[in-house]
Amino acid sequence: MQCTKTMGGKVGAASSKMKDLDTSEDEDGSASLAKEKQKLRKLFGVCPLCKSCHTYKRKKDGDIWPSDRMSSCEEFRKKSEAHRASLLELQ
Ligand SMILES: [Zn+2]
């Protein structure tokens, strides 16, 4: 009897915890978003030029997300400018 009672209490606590998670959609959402971002960061890796992870501001909600676009790299922009300049000088 005692055992059943304890188990019942445990189940009750667990289900109330789940309810908490259910109502706090923001927390759950940002947790999975953070995981998603971490996944992307790993996927894109660090930039070979500036050795840091690039990010971009998502237009939809202004959220900052990892980016694999070289165009968001300041070093790349500087380099391409230098490249352009040297090309112009050669002409
Ligand atoms: Zn970079």
pTM of the model: 0.54
For ligand 1, the distance from its centroid to the CA atom of residue 14, given in whole angstroms, is 46
For ligand 1, the distance from its centroid to the CA atom of residue 59, given in whole angstroms, is 21
Burial of residue 54 (CB within 10 Å: 0-12, 13-18, 19+) is buried
pLDDT tens digits, the chain, 91 residues: what are they? 555 555 555 555 454 455 554 444 556 678 899 999 999 999 999 998 899 999 999 999 999 999 988 888 989 989 888 888 998 998 7
Element holding 37 (H helix, E strand) = helix 25-44
